[in-house]
Every structure is written in C-alpha cells, then in structure tokens.
Structure 1
Amino acid sequence: MDTVRTLFARLADDRDRLPALLDGKAYLVNVTPAVLSQLVSVQDTALLFPCLQTDNEEQISTVVFILKLLLPIFDVGSKFEVLSQCLIDALGHSNNDVRSLCLQEFKECSVTEVGNAALCEAKNVIGGIVQLVGDKDMSIALSAADFLTEFGSYSLEAAKVMLRGELLNNFVNVMKKDDNVRYRVYDIIIKVQAASPEHLTICDSSNLIDKLIAELMGDDALIRVVCIATLSEMALNSHSLDYLKSKGVVDRLISLITNASSDPLSELYMPEVVKFFGKMCFKDGPQSVINLFPRFVDTIFGLINDSDAVRKKIGIETLGFVGQTVEGKHVLAKEGVKVTKALNEIGSLIQAEGTDLRLISINAMCQLLHVDVASQTEDLVNLSLQWFQCISSEPVDTILSLCRQPFTSVKCAGFHLVKTLSAFTWGLEALVEFPTFVEFILDRSADTNKESKDARYEAVESLAESQYCIHIFGNQNYVKFKTYVREGPVYQKVVNPEVAMDTT
C-alpha cells in the first residue's frame, strides 16, 4: 500500500513525474485486478489525467498504459461520478491513443443502465463526440460513430437526447464537412432505428432518414450506390422494411431495375440493389422478392460469375441470405444446373488460399447447407447433400483443411461447417468415414486462442448431441465426445510430475 501511495504522491512533482509513472507501470502490471481494486481508488486514478498535459510522448503512452490497467477495475457509477470531467477534457487531446481510450470508456458506460442514464444528462459529452464523427483521423471518427450507435440504441431516452434539439443540430452541422462524414452519420441513424419501432419513430422525426431517401431519389449514380448500401440494412427488420415501403424506397428500386437496360450507369448500383433484395428475402421471403424482381436469382448467379471481386462478393453473400431459409432453398433448388454451377464456384473459392472471398464463401456455404433438425424433410436432406458435394471432389478433406488453417477466422468457419454437417445423418457418415477424424476433432493442442477452442468445442458438442451419433460413431467415440463436452472448451489434463529417484 505504501508503495502505491508513494507512487501517486510523486506525480505532484513535475521533475519526478515520468520516473514515477515508469515505476508505477512496472509495479502495477504485475498486480492482479482483484488486488489493484484494494490498492487504488478511483480518486487516485484521477491524478493520472493531469499527467497527460505534456508534449512528452513517452509520458503520455505510459499514462495511457496505466489507465488501461486501472479503469476496468472500477464500477461505471463511480467512474462516471469522479472521472467524467477528466474524460471529457481528454477527448480534446492531440494524442489519438488518449482520445480512443476516452471513447472506449464512454462506450462501456453507454451500455449500462447507470451509465446510459448519466450520459443522457451529459449533453456536452454527446455533443463533443458528435463532433468527433467528423474527425480527420478515421479510427477516431469510427470510434465516435460506434459510441453514438451504442448509446442511441441502448434506450429510447438516449435516442431522444441525441436526435432532438441542439444535439440534432450538431449532427446536421457535422454532416456538412464532406460526403464521407454525411454517410457516417446516416449509418449511425440507420443502426439506431433498428433497435425497435419506437427508435425508428424517433429517428424518423429527425428527418435524417428522409434526407437519405431524398438522395436515393436523385440522379447521381455514385450517390445512389452508397444510399442503397446504407438503406439495405433496414431490409433486415420488419418495422424498418415496412417503413421503407411506405416511403417509396422499394418502388424506387423496382424502377431502377426496370430501367437498368437503358441506363449506362446501372452496373454501378445494380449489385447493391441485388444485395438489398437479398436481405429483404429474410423478412418477406424470396418468392415475394422474385414477384417484384423476376430476374433476381439470375442476377445473383451473374454476380457470382463476375470477374470483379466486389461484385462476386455481393453475389455470394446474397445467395447465402436467400438460401438460409427453407423457402429460399426450395427457390434455389428449382434453378437446377445454374445453382450447381454457382456452388461449384463457391467451392473453388473455399479452396483458394489467401483470397478475401474465401471466408465469405465458407459462411455462405454454412447458410446454404444448414437445416434445423425440426425442419428436415427428405427433399431438403437430399438437397443439402447435393450442395455439400459441390464443395470439392473430397468435401470433408476440404473442410478439415480449413480447420487446420493458422488463420483464426478461417479455422473457426471450418469448424462451423463441421457443426453444420452434424445435423444430418449423411454428414455424420461422411465425417466418420474420414480417417483420423475423431482424433483430429478431439485434439485440443491444435488451438492456441479462445476463438478456436470455442469453435472446436461447438463442433464436438453438436456431434455429441446428435441422436444418430452413437449409432454412426459407435459407443466408444460417443463417450469421448461427451467427455470432451463435459470438460468444457478449455481443459488441460493435469499430469503428475515424475520424481527421478537416485538409486545408486
């Protein structure tokens, strides 16, 4: 305790400040959070903020390091009560690490009942962060936008505070900086309205969504692309989609499709139109979309076969959106050879190392193959098997090679595919026929991070929970799966050290 008190006392002396901070960093980094909470108070932590008022970069980085150790140990209420002004002042710091730290703290406060309510009373904080949405540093601008999204989505009161009166004017003014900032603000509003129909009402009253829709209705093809991409997020929620229909947005998109052949710039925005209707399938069903846009599915296939990576990405993602529902699978099944060719292309991309499209293709294949056990019919089961065989000539080998990848995102996606297969008897049979599958899937030593451990665990858990597991894998392997699940995703076998005895 004396050591900590001495360290904080030394901060008062300008000449000893940096050495004290460096000593504090070396000492505190080795103390557990539980012990830290007994040694350091939130009032002590407030003493660190004046140390940021310097041009010495080493001192600033040391303060930030110590704050990252200490701030998580305090509850939101005490942090906001004691440190709110310190954090507000530090938001104007020239160092991005300092500003980023403050934004992260405010974000954590915003998603708690106490913190969100306190921030609703602190309009100066929200106003300052709105200004940061237009910051020239992209990481700060995006962090500010992320905070405002979380804050406004958390409660209706927060949305009202943010989008009415003076703060709404702040948004309107910051949007004038440039096109990128304007669409960053639109993106915040679109995400906040998704929280509930009541949030949509508040966002609608700000007139910002109307401004976005007005831009869509204009003649600028490049602006149209961004507008459709932004509004497409609203197609995923029933209340938001109904709103867009009432505002004429869906009719506008149908008009764009109808006139595409006579518009030389239609290639710019048509991929985003397809993406919008793909998301709309999730709520209205693909047949409803096809009734509005008869060439919808053919357009998706065209995008998947396009040489442009961006267009191909949109096609693959949209196919996954359509095919994740039972109705969507039936619609795609009617396409016969066309869907087979598209799936073969996706299978090729799954096998292509080092491409940005690989993970997107894996995730789309998971959506296309997945069928809840309760929804499985003979037709759907056979369809999933046919689509599975489009991955490659040796699809299980391809999937397990993904699970061996050093890239965590690809590895986890591979385990997700294994989990998807475990819902089908044909999937279990394909896995059990693969040599060394059981040893591979139970090998904990191959995972070095939490994400991979969790993904492997979920795959094993799905195997163990299948009603056909014991019949296909046998009782011995079934017991191994169950034991793995019981031990949890993180388990280390305790090995008793052997003590060497000198018998000479």
Structure 2
Amino acid sequence: MASREDWCADKVSKLLQEDLRIPALNEIKEHLSTIPQNEVSSTIRNLDLPLVFDCLNDSNTEQVDLACEVLSLCMNNLNLGESTSKYGVSLERALNHPYPTVKLMALSEIERNIREEEALTDICKRSSLLTSIVRCIGDEDISVGKKACDITVVIGLSNIGLSQFTSNDVLTVLHEIMTISEVIRLRVYEVVVNISKESENNFVTLVSTGLVSLMLEELNNADVLLRMNVVELLTQLGLSMHGFVYLDQNGILDKLFALVEDEDDPITVQLCEPGILKFFGHMAHWKPIELISKYPKLFDRLFANIESGDLIIVGVSLDTLGVIGLSSEGKTALSSTGNKITYAIKTIVKLLTSYPTEIRIRALNCLENLLRVNDPKIDTMQIARRWFELFGDDPMQLIIRYAKNPFSETKLAGLGMLQAIAEQQWGQEYIKNTPGLVEFLLDRGVESIKECKEAKYEVVKALASSSIFDQSTASKFQAFVAEGPFYVHAVTEVAFERND
C-alpha cells in the first residue's frame, strides 16, 4: 500500500493533467471520507490545495462541483484561521467566480473562520478579500447574498471590522451594488440595521456614512413593497433606545403615522399598516404615555382593528396591544384611554370563540400580557384586576376553559393567563375561591405535554409562596414545586398468591 506522501503525490500529478482531474477529485473525496479523522488533516497538508482551487477555473460543472466538495472537505479539517491565512487569495478568487456554488463554498469557509478573533482580524486587514465578501451581498443568488450579509454583520460587530466596513473601499462597493436593484438595497439596509441595533457606538458610526439616511429616504419611494420592508427594518432598529431616539428626533414616527392615515392611497395603507402597527407597538415599549398623547388616533385605530374583517390586521393589532400593555407604563397609558380600552377588552373576550385558532391564541396571549404585572406597584395591579373583571360575570371561568382545553397551544395560553394572576394577591384569592381549581393544578395526571407540565409548574410555583392558602394546601404546593415539573408518582403493585 502506498504511503500517504506517495498517494498525495499521485493525486497532485493527476490534478495537473486536465483529462485526469475529475477521476482524481473523486478519488480524493472518497479517500478523505473513509480514512480515520486523525489522518485527514495530515493527508490534506500533503495535498496541494491551490491545484484543487485551480480546478474551479473550468466550464465543466461536474468538475467545479467536485472541486467545491473536495475543498469544503479539506478546509473543514484545517484549524480556524488556517485556510483564510494560507489560501486567502484563492478564496477571494472563488468569491468572484460566476457559479453560486463556488461562492457559497468560499463564503461558508470564511464564515467558519471568523468565529476565531485572530482570523476575523486577518480578514479585516485584507481589503480586497473584504470587499469581495461585501460585493457578494449584491449577488443575484439569494443564498450567496444572505450568507454574505451574515458574514458582513459578524465582521461589522467587531471594532476593527466596523472600521473597515465604513472605509472608503467598502462604502464604494456598497454604493455600487445598491444600484443593482431594490432587493439588494434592502440587503444592505438589513446589514446596517443588524450592526446598528447592537450598540450606540455602532449606530453613530453608521449614521456618519449616510447609509441610515438613505434607508429613511426609502419611505418616500413609490414602491409600496419596498416601503413595507423598510418599515420592518426600522421596527428592529427602534427596539434599541438609541434607535428609538434617533427615529423620534428625525420625524420618522410622524411620517409613518401619516402613511397609515393616507385615505387616498388604500393599497399603501393595507400593505404597510401591519408593519407600522408593530413599529408603534415596539416604540410604545419605550415611551407609551408620550406616544399615546402624541398619536391618540393611532391607538383608536388599534382598538378598532380588533373588530376588523382582515385577520392579518386583527392579529397584528392584538400582538401590538399586548406588547404595549405588558409594562407598567404601558398599562397606565392604555388605562388613560378610559372607555376605549374597556371596550377593546370586552370585544376581545366576546370574539374569542369566533376567532380562528391562531388568532384566538394571539388574543389570549394579549390578555395575558394585560394581566401580567412585572413590578409590584399597587396602581398597576389595580389596573390588571379591573381589566380581569371585564372578562364577564365569572372571569375565572374564561381562564379555566382555556387552561383545561385539550389542545396544547390553547391550553398553554390559558395557563399563561392563570400564571399572570397567580403572581398577584387578588389573583390568588380568585384561584383559592374557585372550586376544583387547586385540585386541577396539583393533578399531574392530566398533563402529558412537556410544555404544559412546565406551564402548570410555574403557576403552582407562584402560589407556593403565597400566604393566602391554608397550611395544608400551601404544603401541597411546596411539595409539588420541590418535586419539579416532571415528577411521576410511583405506582406500587402487590402480587397475591392464588390457591387453585
């Protein structure tokens, strides 16, 4: 049997001969797939990988695909940073190859390497390699473009990477590819947002490049779908405090509100309203009272949408109301609308049975958020109790109906509401005074789904520290918690001898 060195020399010789390249690549692929893992790295280092890269320079797709497979197999067995250090030029050429499979091979290897800080720094110092990665954002192949976006974000989140991303060389490439199409512009904006939202320093740096301003200008674009996607990106940016402040100070909230109110352009309203409602919901997370005083009509629209015939709008409106009503400030802001929030809650409860399952679950999740109190302020708990009592003459029955539902997703939503009130003293009183509810909570036998076991456990855990219950019940709750969510009672079988 030939030694490793002789075997590799034979394959190198064959790779130099055009008519033997495909058989040689097949032999390499098969060999590397069958030998022990500890021998693979040594074998690879005896192969001349630049010759395998050279096999990519051919119009024969079989050869190109084989070369990609072999290169991926080889480089995956190299140390992090080794392939980008030794074969950076070859990888760069691969990024400019006409075939998407070749670009994906190179991008995947680069993505693997940037997990290591030294390799990431090395790539950032290679200006032409970095610009080739960025240029791939503009590729017509979606997989190539997405992979390039992911890599660019990781690079941009590092200090040296952010500096290089905002260099003239990279910005020139970005502006070039942004002229290709609106789809490519959106990819660039997505990269900008994903880097910006992570820190104020990142955001300030990217604002200075003018890319953020270009994104905001797209809100004036005639293409409604483009505007809709930009609204979605702005929603992500606004989740950070620095992003919210910037958007507020630059009049973006006013512009988005105007879009929803534009009665002369119903198509834009229909397509953009879900995204804009989400946007305002997340903005209200930061300053709910300020937003509700500045945009009362938007909240009126939110309440009215609950009765809409458009289920997309209903779902988004329920989600948005839930996001706003989760915080104490949000509850205070919604409570200030008086009869409007009262009517909205009563409407949700009334329509629960007529909603399709998916919308019903979102409605229950919305109600859970309205009931949940994350900080024990008396005013907030009073608001939650007042809203709970809008559920009907016997509000507990509504919660129990869904907490005992046979379908797990609906049951989880019901148990979520139960947990929300179990964390408040008034809710504990309701639970205590509801016949059969304590027994249901302590009965492990009725739950078979892991998530439902965990949800019920969280309810009992909240009740276990309450002073509302008698000593016997409190002890049962505490024992339940000590046993954990998945405890199974042992069943003892006694065998009796039978006399025949």
In the superposition, the TM-score normalised over structure 1's length comes to: 0.72
Structure 1 CA distance for aligned equivalents of residues 48 and 377 of structure 2: 56
1:424, CA displacement in angstroms?
Answer: 4.8
Aligned to 1:237: 240
1:297, CA displacement in angstroms?
Answer: 2.3
Structure 2 CA distance for aligned equivalents of residues 440 and 18 of structure 1: 59
Write the deviation string for residues 289-325 of structure 1: whole angstroms up to 9, x where unpaired.
Answer: 1111112223223444444454344324322321332
Structure 1 CA distance for aligned equivalents of residues 462 and 3 of structure 2: 57
Name the SS of the counterpart of 1:133 in structure 2. Answer: helix
Query: What amino acid sits opposite 1:165 in the alignment?
Result: N
| Alignment CA distance shift 1:366-1:338 (3 Å) | closer
1:147, CA displacement in angstroms?
Answer: 1.9
2:402 to 395, 398, 407: 395
Between 1:176-185 and 1:335-344, the stretch displaced more is 335-344
Aligned to 1:148: 152
RMSD: 4.5
Structure of larger gyration radius? 2
Query: What amino acid sits opposite 1:23 in the alignment?
Result: E
| Alignment CA distance shift 1:343-1:68 (3 Å) | farther
Between 1:173-182 and 1:301-310, the stretch displaced more is 301-310
Query: What amino acid sits opposite 2:139 in the alignment?
Result: D
Contact 1:237–1:283, Cα closer than 8 Å, also in 2: no
1:208, CA displacement in angstroms?
Answer: 1.7
Between 1:164-173 and 1:92-101, the stretch displaced more is 92-101
Structure 1 CA distance for aligned equivalents of residues 482 and 82 of structure 2: 49
Aligned to 1:491: none
Write the deviation string for residues 466-504 of structure 1: whole angstroms up to 9, x where unpaired.
Answer: 46188385465434317869xxxxxxxxxxxxxxxxxxx
Structure 2 CA distance for aligned equivalents of residues 150 and 391 of structure 1: 47
1:348, CA displacement in angstroms?
Answer: 6.1
Aligned to 2:143: 139
State yes or no: 1:351 paired with 2:357.
Answer: yes
Aligned to 2:329: 327
1:36, CA displacement in angstroms?
Answer: 6.7
Structure 2 CA distance for aligned equivalents of residues 93 and 65 of structure 1: 16
Contact 1:347–1:361, Cα closer than 8 Å, also in 2: no
Q: Structure 1 regions of 5+ residues with no counterpart?
A: 404-413, 448-454, 486-504
Aligned to 1:128: 132
Query: What amino acid sits opposite 1:275 in the alignment?
Result: K
Contact 2:178–2:185, Cα closer than 8 Å, also in 1: yes
Structure 2 CA distance for aligned equivalents of residues 43 and 228 of structure 1: 53
| Alignment CA distance shift 1:180-1:358 (3 Å) | farther
| Alignment CA distance shift 1:224-1:20 (3 Å) | closer
What aligned pairs does 1:441-480 form with structure 2 within 5 A after superposition?
462=458, 466=462, 468=464, 471=474, 474=477, 477-480=480-483
Structure 2 CA distance for aligned equivalents of residues 7 and 461 of structure 1: 62
Contact 2:206–2:212, Cα closer than 8 Å, also in 1: yes
Contact 2:400–2:414, Cα closer than 8 Å, also in 1: no
2:444 to 410, 430, 438: 438
Structure 2 CA distance for aligned equivalents of residues 351 and 389 of structure 1: 21
Name the SS of the counterpart of 1:336 in structure 2. Answer: helix
What aligned pairs does 1:333-372 form with structure 2 within 5 A after superposition?
334=338, 335-342=341-348, 351-352=357-358, 367-368=369-370, 370-372=372-374
Query: What amino acid sits opposite 2:481 in the alignment?
Result: Y
Contact 2:365–2:416, Cα closer than 8 Å, also in 1: no
1:116, CA displacement in angstroms?
Answer: 2.8
Name the SS of the counterpart of 2:484 in structure 1. Answer: helix
Write the deviation string for residues 48-67 of structure 1: whole angstroms up to 9, x where unpaired.
Answer: 64565566666666665666
Write the deviation string for residues 386-423 of structure 1: whole angstroms up to 9, x where unpaired.
Answer: 679798772123485239xxxxxxxxxx8698577546
Question: Across the two proteins, how many residue pairs are aligned to each other?
Answer: 454
Structure 1 CA distance for aligned equivalents of residues 28 and 354 of structure 2: 55
Contact 1:348–1:392, Cα closer than 8 Å, also in 2: no
What aligned pairs does 1:229-268 form with structure 2 within 5 A after superposition?
229-256=232-259, 260-261=262-263, 267-268=269-270
Structure 2 CA distance for aligned equivalents of residues 421 and 483 of structure 1: 19
| Alignment CA distance shift 1:190-1:11 (3 Å) | same
Aligned to 1:17: 24
Name the SS of the counterpart of 1:76 in structure 2. Answer: coil
Name the SS of the counterpart of 2:296 in structure 1. Answer: coil
Structure 1 CA distance for aligned equivalents of residues 223 and 65 of structure 2: 46
Structure 2 CA distance for aligned equivalents of residues 215 and 317 of structure 1: 26
1:171, CA displacement in angstroms?
Answer: 0.6
Query: What amino acid sits opposite 2:192 in the alignment?
Result: I
Seq. identity, %: 21
Structure 1 CA distance for aligned equivalents of residues 242 and 89 of structure 2: 39
Structure 2 CA distance for aligned equivalents of residues 422 and 402 of structure 1: 15
Query: What amino acid sits opposite 1:233 in the alignment?
Result: Q
Q: Structure 2 regions of 5+ residues with no counterpart?
A: 466-472, 489-500
Aligned to 1:27: 34
1:93, CA displacement in angstroms?
Answer: 4.2
Structure 2 CA distance for aligned equivalents of residues 85 and 475 of structure 1: 64
Query: What amino acid sits opposite 1:248 in the alignment?
Result: G
Name the SS of the counterpart of 1:130 in structure 2. Answer: helix
1:280, CA displacement in angstroms?
Answer: 0.8
Structure 1 CA distance for aligned equivalents of residues 122 and 159 of structure 2: 14
What aligned pairs does 1:195-344 form with structure 2 within 5 A after superposition?
195-217=198-220, 224-256=227-259, 260-261=262-263, 267-268=269-270, 269-284=272-287, 286-332=288-334, 334=338, 335-342=341-348
1:78 to 68, 79, 82: 82
Name the SS of the counterpart of 2:180 in structure 1. Answer: coil
State yes or no: 1:167 paired with 2:170.
Answer: yes
Structure 2 CA distance for aligned equivalents of residues 25 and 400 of structure 1: 50
Contact 1:344–1:391, Cα closer than 8 Å, also in 2: no
In the superposition, the TM-score normalised over structure 2's length comes to: 0.72
Structure 2 CA distance for aligned equivalents of residues 43 and 368 of structure 1: 65
State yes or no: 1:87 paired with 2:87.
Answer: no
Contact 1:350–1:391, Cα closer than 8 Å, also in 2: no
Structure 2 CA distance for aligned equivalents of residues 381 and 72 of structure 1: 55
Query: What amino acid sits opposite 1:276 in the alignment?
Result: F
Aligned to 2:470: none
Aligned to 1:181: 184
| Alignment CA distance shift 1:101-1:350 (3 Å) | farther
| Alignment CA distance shift 1:463-1:264 (3 Å) | closer
